[in-house]
Structure 1
Amino acid sequence: MALQAPEGLKRFLPRLAHDLRHLGYEVIISGDPCYGACDLDLRARDRADVLVHIGHTPVDNTKQVIYELWPVDGDLTVISDVIPRLNGRRVGLVTTIQHIHLLPRVAELIRNAGIEPVIAEPSPRTPCPGQVLGCSFNAARKTGTDEIIFLGTGLFHPIGIQLATRARVFACDPITGRIEEPDADRLLRVRFGLIQKAQNAESFGIIVSSKTGQCRSELADYLCTLSDKAYRIMLGEVSPDQLLNLGFPCYVNTACPRLAYDDQVRFSVPVLTPCEFEILCGVRKFETYEVDEIS
């Protein structure tokens, strides 16, 4: 048996391996970085009968993988606090997989306040109702509401939800109790600056991921048709050192969408999204900007 978990949960793997060994299992611990179910350690799986992936739900049909969730509880007082700030009588509810078990209670609180909670049905990439990923905001879009509550930590998901839906978004953190309304306009200004910076690039490296859940080779093929200065690059792990060594003055990312958004400060040159490369090549207007997602 092979065990894999994201960075925040890796510290629990030695204890889990110890318990499984005493139950008679031989255990391999995956020590490589893990960013989600799109990042399965297939080498570890191929050396075991099964890979147990902890903390995420499946995004594809990879065989010999068992998914184990890691629920995280929180204080739902934050929902009671956000209700007075709502303007409408319908609100969309979304969250990440860690808090998905809390969503029925959130819906009940909303309903008791006389507001209709809207939770989208599952999709192939997000198999739980109301679930969003850093690469998929479809559950938010499908609510069709003008206001959306995101239950979770951080602002990446809420900003992506705002860009994907153009709705008013409330980021409600059940751990800190903090409520924020994300400012997607600031991100757009940063992204516009990167597009401008990349205008005079002599060549473009189109990044294609070798990870099963991130490989968008057809998208990369399309992007290469937009410029005769574009070249495909196959990578397993996208890091600043790798891109620096390759030496392209600009890259276009078709791997995990969060790379371009979250990690741009780590890269010495612009790393554009597919949509941004379309804008740079003149086949799309900036006014029709779309957040990068994997469907």
Structure 2
Amino acid sequence: MWLNGTSDLIEKLKKLGVHKVALQFPEGLKRQAAPVATDLKDAGFKVIISGDPCYGACDLALDTLAYGDADALVHFGHAPVDERENVIFEPWTVDFDIPILEKALPLLKEKTVGLVTTVQHAPLIPAMETYLFSHGHECRVADGTGRTPLRGQVIGCSFAAAKSTGAGEILFVGTGLFHPIGIALVTKARVIALDPLTGTAQEVSADALLRRRFAIMEKARGAQHIGIIVSTKSGQQRRALAERLAALSPGAVIVTMREVNPDELLNLGFDCYVNTACPRLAYDDQVRFKKPVLSPQEFEILCGVRTWDDYTIDEIT
């Protein structure tokens, strides 16, 4: 459910003196756009909705502000990854019954456990701590910082909250396996993943991902023409990194893109690509790409400036 509600947002906008409002929703929440827009229009605001794909707080519809369509952009569902003028972030929480944590208890071997989750469940961190403490586990939870401003929060491009716990065993509460696999690679800790919506708990291994990534790297070995992808999205632009990577190979050329999709990469015709945009593109979407898409660290390994023993998952810091 939406954490604050339309009435609170209306009051916030009025206090800021906003008259024209742009709304942006991630893919899973887009069906909320019409009713929220109606409420704001009824309150006297001029409203537009960004209909473009949105994959996170790093993908803001800033064009709605640049062209004067709106005085403020309201972004739903995520916490900010950086400071942006005239952008309002409205969290969206997904509640669950705290006793579902019992599913993870048999898998926890250590008394001290690092605890992390995603933005949707971050408000439940205190209740999770209390529950685990009552069952014999002391929790380490990192304070919010940088791209993950909420306490105990991790995102797909930053696992700082997991590293900061310093724990040898970490409990991730959330859906999917990408986050816990990334945590395992970054921290080298034992990671237990609990899906609070299905009640499924499991120990996570990064071995399968590493085997897949090694195969992709071997496929890219010897590539003559290499496209270094630079995102033009608000929170994904890593031009300095791209320029450093391009300098590692005479066949590397920087390619700027907003949406990184299989058709465009195929049309460009490079032998392989190095992704400095959203890190998850290389890991999650490789099956969709006809050519290898490497992470910066993988490209460094192929270029001989990093060893395989120093392999780690890509993060934006």
Deviation at 1:62, TM superposition (A): 1.6
Tell me, yes or no, if structure 1 residue 294 matches structure 2 residue 312: no
**1:73 aligned residue (95, 110, 113):** 95
Asked if 2 retains the 8 angstrom alpha-carbon contact of 1:93 and 1:150, the reply is: yes
- Other-structure match for 2:11: none
The residue identity in structure 2 corresponding to 1:214 is Q
- Other-structure match for 2:289: 267
- After superposition, the C-alpha distances for 1:98-124 in whole angstroms (9 at most, x for unaligned) are 000111111001111122100011112
Asked if 2 retains the 8 angstrom alpha-carbon contact of 1:253 and 1:271, the reply is: yes
- After superposition, the C-alpha distances for 1:212-232 in whole angstroms (9 at most, x for unaligned) are 200001100110111111000
Tell me, yes or no, if structure 1 residue 45 matches structure 2 residue 65: yes
Q: Which moved more, 1:59-68 or 1:80-89?
A: 80-89
Q: How many residues align?
A: 295
Tell me, yes or no, if structure 1 residue 111 matches structure 2 residue 133: yes
Task: Tell me the SS of whatever aligns to 1:181.
Answer: strand
**1:58 aligned residue (80, 83, 88):** 80
Task: Tell me the SS of whatever aligns to 1:131.
Answer: coil
Partners of 2:150 and 2:83 in 1: CA distance: 16
The residue identity in structure 1 corresponding to 2:168 is D
Asked if 2 retains the 8 angstrom alpha-carbon contact of 1:77 and 1:177, the reply is: no
- Compute the RMSD of aligned alpha carbons: 0.9
The residue identity in structure 1 corresponding to 2:86 is Q
Task: Tell me the SS of whatever aligns to 1:11.
Answer: helix
> Which ranges in structure 2 are unaligned for 5 or more consecutive residues?
1-20
Tell me, yes or no, if structure 1 residue 153 matches structure 2 residue 189: no
- Other-structure match for 1:95: 117
Asked if 1 retains the 8 angstrom alpha-carbon contact of 2:108 and 2:192, the reply is: no
Task: Tell me the SS of whatever aligns to 2:282.
Answer: helix
- Other-structure match for 2:41: 21
- Other-structure match for 1:162: 184
Task: Tell me the SS of whatever aligns to 1:227.
Answer: coil
Asked if 1 retains the 8 angstrom alpha-carbon contact of 2:107 and 2:203, the reply is: no
The residue identity in structure 2 corresponding to 1:153 is T
- After superposition, the C-alpha distances for 1:204-259 in whole angstroms (9 at most, x for unaligned) are 10000111200001100110111111000011111111101111010000000000
- Other-structure match for 2:265: 243
Partners of 1:180 and 1:75 in 2: CA distance: 19
Asked if 2 retains the 8 angstrom alpha-carbon contact of 1:75 and 1:177, the reply is: no
Asked if 2 retains the 8 angstrom alpha-carbon contact of 1:99 and 1:152, the reply is: yes
Task: Tell me the SS of whatever aligns to 1:98.
Answer: coil
Partners of 2:103 and 2:62 in 1: CA distance: 44
Partners of 2:284 and 2:203 in 1: CA distance: 18
Partners of 2:78 and 2:72 in 1: CA distance: 16
Partners of 2:250 and 2:122 in 1: CA distance: 45
Any residues of structure 2 matched to 1:210-289 within 5 Å, and which? 210-289=232-311
Partners of 2:76 and 2:206 in 1: CA distance: 31
Partners of 1:135 and 1:78 in 2: CA distance: 27
The residue identity in structure 1 corresponding to 2:108 is L
Asked if 2 retains the 8 angstrom alpha-carbon contact of 1:78 and 1:178, the reply is: no
Partners of 1:191 and 1:49 in 2: CA distance: 44
Tell me, yes or no, if structure 1 residue 8 matches structure 2 residue 32: no
**1:127 aligned residue (149, 171, 178):** 149
Q: TM-score, normalised by structure 1?
A: 0.98
Question: Quick one: percent identity of the two aligned structures?
Answer: 57
Asked if 2 retains the 8 angstrom alpha-carbon contact of 1:55 and 1:68, the reply is: yes
Q: TM-score, normalised by structure 2?
A: 0.92
Deviation at 1:287, TM superposition (A): 1.3
Runs (4+) of structure 1 exceeding 6 A deviation are none
Partners of 2:265 and 2:101 in 1: CA distance: 42
